[in-house]
């Protein structure tokens, strides 16, 4: 079995800025990630029975009761084909008052039910205090490999993922919501990256991104500016327009409007990988600040440029990491998503003089 490793560890240039210690979203203090992966059966598709290639990923911005102590948040929709829930409230109010869950398209409601149960257990006053939580569940379509009609992710799986959430380094590739995902017609999944940012007074902050990568045509795939997807010998078959969900965290004291600006820049990172955000692709970026500062303590807008750079770099690297760390998977009806062939990819980069 070919060893899977990150492009950074192979010497590929991933940008100008320094990465955090683990180079993933949990470099942001307090952020925790949990997964439930469901892999069952093989052979022909029998709707409701399998084969099953799916899961759920939970992201907790900080170890507090978010319903009582919400975070500021901003969200950008690059392409609105997705079926995520909880977006309008964040757009209107600029806050996040629940964990973030990722899963497949037809399991959104089951996962939402699990999150509701989790929050009700934490907060006996919900329903009696004139407030309700805004449930956030974001999705991609894993039906090329998975029996998506079977809705095999259940409410209890969401609760388990929430209870499993822990600090990193996180697992990447074929894990959680990424189990059945495809990216550039190769095996995709969960990827993550981080960047360290220093403000004008010398204070250092972290920007972390987690990607659920499930989009794109092989011919569009770029790595370090090289059209690798047009040269690879691996077949790119069975295209189903997918989606990209990017979840960003930072401990910087940013306003909801500044977080919107950061979320908007994530599409530039997606573009670095070759995506054109196709019509059938639902592409979102949710940015969250874990910093509980007061209004007057926000960073100046003039200090945001390095945060923009961090988001662009970490978004691109998180997608590349999902590809490099995913493994070949066979799913329903003999459908196969091949892992990115690392040695062939490196040779292409050498031929283009992009790698020693």
| Catalytically annotated residues | 243, 281, 283
What kind and span of H or E run contains 33? strand 32-40
Beta carbons within 8 Å of 158's beta carbon, 6+ residues apart: 36, 56, 58, 101, 103, 110, 111, 112, 113, 114, 115, 118
CA proximity to 185, closest of 142, 221, 237: 237
CA proximity to 30, closest of 257, 208, 190, 151: 208
What kind and span of H or E run contains 104? strand 100-104
Beta carbons within 8 Å of 125's beta carbon, 6+ residues apart: none
Structure tokens at 213: 């990568």
Contact predicate 6/146, CB 8 Å: no
What kind and span of H or E run contains 192? strand 189-198
């Amino acid at each position: 079995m070919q060893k899977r490793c990150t492009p950074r560890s192979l010497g590929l240039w991933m940008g100008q800025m320094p990465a955090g210690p683990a180079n993933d979203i949990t470099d942001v203090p307090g952020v925790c990630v949990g997964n439930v992966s469901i892999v069952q059966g093989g052979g022909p598709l029998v709707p409701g029975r399998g084969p099953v290639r799916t899961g759920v990923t939970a992201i907790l911005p900080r170890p507090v009761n978010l319903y009582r102590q919400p975070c500021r948040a901003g969200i950008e929709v690059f392409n609105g084909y997705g079926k995520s829930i909880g977006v309008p409230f964040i757009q209107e109010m600029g806050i996040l008052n629940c964990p973030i869950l990722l899963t497949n398209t037809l399991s959104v409601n089951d996962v939402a039910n699990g999150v509701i149960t989790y929050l009700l257990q934490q907060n006996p006053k919900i329903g009696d205090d004139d407030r309700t939580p805004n449930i956030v569940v974001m999705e991609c379509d894993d039906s090329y490999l998975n029996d998506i009609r079977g809705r095999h992710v259940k409410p209890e799986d969401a609760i388990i993922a929430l209870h499993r959430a822990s600090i990193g380094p996180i697992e990447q590739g074929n894990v959680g919501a990424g189990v059945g995902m495809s990216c550039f017609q190769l095996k995709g999944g969960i990827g993550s990256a981080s960047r360290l940012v220093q403000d004008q007074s010398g204070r250092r902050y972290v920007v972390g991104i987690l990607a659920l990568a499930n989009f794109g045509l092989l011919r569009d795939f770029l790595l370090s500016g090289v059209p690798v997807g047009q040269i690879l010998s691996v077949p790119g078959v069975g295209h189903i327009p997918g989606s990209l969900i990017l979840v960003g965290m930072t401990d910087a004291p940013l306003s909801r409007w500044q977080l919107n600006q950061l979320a908007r820049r994530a599409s530039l990172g997606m573009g670095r990988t070759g995506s054109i955000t196709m019509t059938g692709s639902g592409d979102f970026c949710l940015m969250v600040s874990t910093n509980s500062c007061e209004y007057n303590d926000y960073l100046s807008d003039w200090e945001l440029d390095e945060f923009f750079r961090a988001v662009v770099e970490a978004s691109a690297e998180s997608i590349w990491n999902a590809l490099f760390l995913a493994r070949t998977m066979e799913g329903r009806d003999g459908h196969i998503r091949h892992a990115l062939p690392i040695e062939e990819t490196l040779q292409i980069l050498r031929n283009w003089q992009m790698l020693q």
